[in-house]
Amino acid sequence: MEARQNPRIGVGRRIWRGLDTTRRIVLNVVFFGLLVTLLVALASGGKPKVQKGCALVVKPVGAIVEQAEGNVLDRASAELFGGSTKQTLLKDLVDAIDAARQDERIKAAVLDLSEIGSTGMTKLEDLKAAVGRFRATGKKVIASADSYDQYGYYLAAHADEVWLNPQGLLLLEGFSRFATFYKDGLDRLGVDWHVFRVGEYKSAVEPYLRNDMSPEAKEANLAYLNDLWNSYLADVAAARKTTPERIAEFIDRFPEHLKTTGGDAAQAAVAAGLVDKVEPRDALRKRVIELVGEDKATHTFKQIGYQAYLKALDKDRFGRKAKGDLVAVVVAKGTISDGSRPPGQIGGDSTAALIRQARNDKNVKAIVLRVDSPGGSGFASEVIRRELEVARADGKVVVTSMGSVAASGGYWISMASDEVWASPNTITGSIGIFGMFPTIDRPLARYLGVRVDGVGTTRLAGAMRSDRALDPAVGEAIQAIVDHGYRDFLEVVAKGRKMAPEAVDKVARGRVWSGQDALGLGLVDKLGGLDDAIKAAAKRAKLGDNYKVRYIEKEMTWKEKLVHGLVTRAVASVGAETRTARVAAPYLTVARMVANQEAELALLAESSPVLAYAFVPTE
Catalytic residue positions, numbered: 202, 408
Distance between CA atoms of residues 273 and 153, nearest Å:
13
Q: In whole angstroms, how far apart are CA 177 and each of 140, 200, 221, 493?
A: 37, 17, 7, 27
Mapping DSSP to helix (H, G, I), strand (E, B) and coil, where does residue 478 land?
helix
Distance between CA atoms of residues 158 and 133, nearest Å:
11
Distance between CA atoms of residues 465 and 226, nearest Å:
43
| Strand-pair category, 612-615 with 375-377 | antiparallel
Distance between CA atoms of residues 161 and 188, nearest Å:
56
Give me the sign of the Cα torsion angle 580, 585, 587, 588.
positive
Write the CB contacts of 292 (distance below 8 Å, at least 6 apart in sequence).
53, 54, 55, 107, 108, 301, 302, 303
Longest dimension (CA), the chain: 90
307-311-313-316 Cα dihedral, nearest 10 degrees: 110
HEC-encoded secondary structure of 424-473: CCCEEECCCEEEEEEECHHHHHHHHCCCCCCCCCCCCCCCCCCCCCCCHH
Q: Which of 75, 612, 594 minimizes the C-alpha distance to 376?
A: 612
Give 145-208 as a DSSP string.
ESSB-HHHHHHHTTSSEEEE-TT--B------------HHHHHHHT-EEEEEEE-TT-GGGGGG
In angstroms and rounded to an integer, the radius of gyration of the C-alpha atoms of the chain is: 27
Q: In whole angstroms, how far apart are CA 481 and each of 49, 378, 487, 489?
A: 61, 12, 10, 12
Distance between CA atoms of residues 54 and 60, nearest Å:
19
Which strand (E) or helix (H) includes residue 101?
helix 90-101
* Composition of the chain by helix, strand, coil, percent to 5: 50, 20, 35
Indicate the DSSP class of residue 211: S
CB 255 within 8 A of CB 231: no
